[in-house]
Amino acid sequence: MFRKLLIANRGEIAVRIGRACAEMGIRSVAVYTEPDRFGLHVKRADEAYYVGDDPLAGYLDVRRLVDLARETGCDAIHPGYGLLAENAELARVCTETGIVFIGPNADVMARMSDKTSARQAMRQAGVPVTPGSDGKVPDLDEARRLAGKIGYPVMFKATSGGGGLGIRRCNDPEQLEQAWHRVLSEASKAFGSAEVFLEKCIDDSHHIEVQVMADRHGGVIHLFERDCSIQRRNQKLMEVAPSPHLTPEQRAYVGELAVRAAKTVGYENAGTVEFLVKGNEIYFMEMNTRIQVEHTITEAITGMDIVREQIRIAAGLKLSFRQEDVRHHGHAIQFRINAEDPRNDFLPSFGRVTRYYAPGGPGVRTDTAIYTGYQIPPYFDALCLKLIVWGMSWEETLDRGIRALNDMRLQGIKTTAPFYEEILRHPQFRRGSFDTGFVAAHPELLNYSVKRNPEEAALAIAAAIAAHAGL
């Protein structure tokens, strides 16, 4: 097993990886740029090293991070999610310098991170893919021809896209022309590549992703599925495991497809295979070659520590479980508590956390890197914390989610928490009847009232007085 591990990330996922290291007797090394000088991941690591004033550059400097790992005696690097997590260059440089990269090899990562290459691999494996272009779309004329062939609505997608970026829906030829240059520009700025492909837009579908784990000894298993259909503008807000929409037969089928996909490309470590499901139609969308933000709910229903398993696999060990050993119990929901104001078009609400109290009790987990007094910087993702609730039944999980959201105190900024309470109370959601269009179809969910206790009111008054006095 590794002696020391460098965590090439920040925030809650860096804290999460550090906790796994502590349990496994592995020393953890954190990195930080100036805005994260007082970050919780820095405080909790065994060692921490400054990598520059620029908020992002230090986290994205592959050579510097690998050199730091070598200088500090690290055996391995864990990239978490985001930042460098799907950067094949990091995996390649790690291999060249004798550092173990905790993830798939560089060639597999590069192949699956390119969505057109991934679609081609899935076709060869007999996994159904959404109708669309065979590869990148070279020009607007070809885009028009393909859209006319497969039928509107269609989606432009960046071949290297992710996180809801580099995606544009087109309902007709006019929107297609308007979106073409915009998505090319977005893709170039966000991912350094102006390559896009086109696929059929499957409306009123369910976004289903399957967690897979694979070792270097030929062992490949799935840990069942997560339903990520509660989205806004193609960005996930809440995730559910298992999906209330799948029949047992569909659950077994998507699990088998995901395992087949991983075996076909020679995958190793943790990954996620994503599908769109509508009725009995199931289509492959993409494969994420890293741990996902929402891995927590899979852990909740299976009892498996996915980060720990990642580290074991990277160390050359076999999977801890066989497929027949994996069972799922109860239901789990993850809420992405973002520093955003839902009633103001989800605008960011960065600032100082004046008070933070984490909810607790049976079946409640929080993954975060914030604390009272923490200044949420404006340079990164708006995620403040992940609130995870688990219950034996769907109804118990919903009620526990409302209770946990009410228990939480996160003051000084606006968050998405009250918006999630409205979703949990909605009759349609409580029936388990929701799809990717749910949020857009229910604008009334934003008509919630902000509840304030006397202490919060006093703090608001004190802040107003201080501002008026010029303090």
136-180 tens-digit pLDDT: 888 999 999 999 999 999 988 887 766 667 788 999 999 998 888
CATH 1.10.3470.10 is the classification of domain 206-446: no
Per annotation, catalytic residue among 27, 119, 226, 290: 290
Q: Residue 127 and residue 414: Cα distance in Å, rounded?
A: 42
Q: Taking Cα atoms as reference points, which of 81, 58, 50 lies closest to residue 383?
A: 81
Q: Per the structure block, which two tokens stand in for 138?
A: 């070279």
> Regarding predicted confidence, which is higher, 189 or 163?
189
The neighbour count for residue 117, using CB atoms within 10 Å, is: 16
Confidence class of residue 291 from pLDDT cuts 50, 70 and 90?
very high
What is the domain class of 131-200 according to CATH?
alpha beta
- Cβ atoms of 401 and 326 within 8 Å: the answer is no
Average pLDDT over residues 365-390: 96
Q: Taking Cα atoms as reference points, which of 20, 13, 86 lies closest to residue 304?
A: 20
Q: What is the CA radius of gyration of the chain?
A: 22
Q: Do domains 4-102 and 206-446 have the same CATH topology?
A: no
Instruction: Confirm whether pTM is higher than 0.85.
Output: yes
Query: Is pLDDT of 190 > 80?
Result: no
- Cβ atoms of 340 and 410 within 8 Å: the answer is no
User: 4-102, what's its fold?
Assistant: Rossmann fold (3.40.50)
Q: Taking Cα atoms as reference points, which of 157, 166, 212, 210 lies closest to residue 188?
A: 166
201-221 tens-digit pLDDT: 998 899 999 999 999 999 999
240-283 tens-digit pLDDT: 999 999 999 999 999 999 999 999 999 999 999 999 999 999 99
Query: Is pLDDT of 233 > 70?
Result: yes
Query: Is pLDDT of 423 > 70?
Result: yes
Confidence class of residue 186 from pLDDT cuts 50, 70 and 90?
confident
**Mean predicted lDDT score pLDDT of the chain:** 93
Q: Is 290 a catalytic residue?
A: yes
Residue with tokens 């399957």: 210
**68-82, 176-190, 298-312: segment of lowest average pLDDT:** 176-190
Residue with tokens 């998507």: 254
Q: Domain residue spans in the chain?
A: 4-102, 131-200, 206-446
pLDDT attached to residue 6: 98
Q: Which helix (H) or strand (E) holds 298?
A: helix 295-302
Confidence class of residue 195 from pLDDT cuts 50, 70 and 90?
confident
Q: Taking Cα atoms as reference points, which of 381, 385, 383, 360 lies closest to residue 371?
A: 385
Q: Per the structure block, which two tokens stand in for 370?
A: 């914030």
